[in-house]
C-alpha cells in the first residue's frame, strides 16, 4: 500500500508544503518512507481565490515542479 500525506500551510503570503510518502509492503516488513518540503509565494490568483482553490493551486504547482524534476533526473 502506498500512502501520501501532504501538509500545506499558508502564512504571510508564503506556502509551506511537506509531503511524506510511505510504501508499506505488509506485516513484518519495514515500510519505505520518503519526504520532501517546498516553500513558495502565493500567486495572484491564489490571493483572490477561496481557501480550497488556493490550496489546490499550490499543490498543483508543487506537483508539476516535482514531476518535471523527476523527468529531468530520469532523462539525465
The answer to whether the pTM exceeds 0.85 is: no
- pLDDT for the residue 64: 85
pLDDT of res. 70 = 66
Q: What is the pLDDT of residue 66?
A: 78
The helix/strand/coil state of 28 is coil
List Cβ neighbours of 8 (8 Å cut-off, separation of 6 or more). 15, 16, 17, 55, 58, 59
**Domain around 63:** 2-75
Task: Give the pLDDT confidence score for residue 48 in this predicted structure.
Answer: 93
How many independent structural domains does the chain possess? 1
Report how far residue 18's alpha carbon sits from residue 36's, in angstroms, rounded to the nearest whole number.
6
Q: Going residue by residue through the chain, which has 76 residues, state the pLDDT in tens, using 9 for 90 and above.
A: 999 999 999 999 999 999 999 999 988 999 999 999 999 999 999 999 999 999 999 999 999 887 777 666 667 6
- As a whole number of angstroms, the longest Cα–Cα distance in the chain is 49
Supply 63's cell numbers.
Answer: 506537483
Backbone phi, then psi, for 37, in 5-degree steps?
Answer: -140, 155
Amino acid at each position: 500500500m502506498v500512502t501520501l500525506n501532504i501538509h500545506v500551510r499558508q502564512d504571510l503570503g508564503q506556502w509551506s508544503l511537506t509531503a511524506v510518502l510511505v510504501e508499506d509492503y505488509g506485516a513484518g516488513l519495514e515500510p519505505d518512507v520518503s519526504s520532501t518540503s517546498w516553500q513558495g509565494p502565493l500567486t495572484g490568483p491564489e490571493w483572490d481565490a477561496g481557501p480550497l482553490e488556493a490550496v489546490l493551486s499550490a499543490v498543483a504547482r508543487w506537483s508539476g515542479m516535482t514531476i518535471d524534476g523527476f523527468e529531468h533526473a530520469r532523462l539525465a
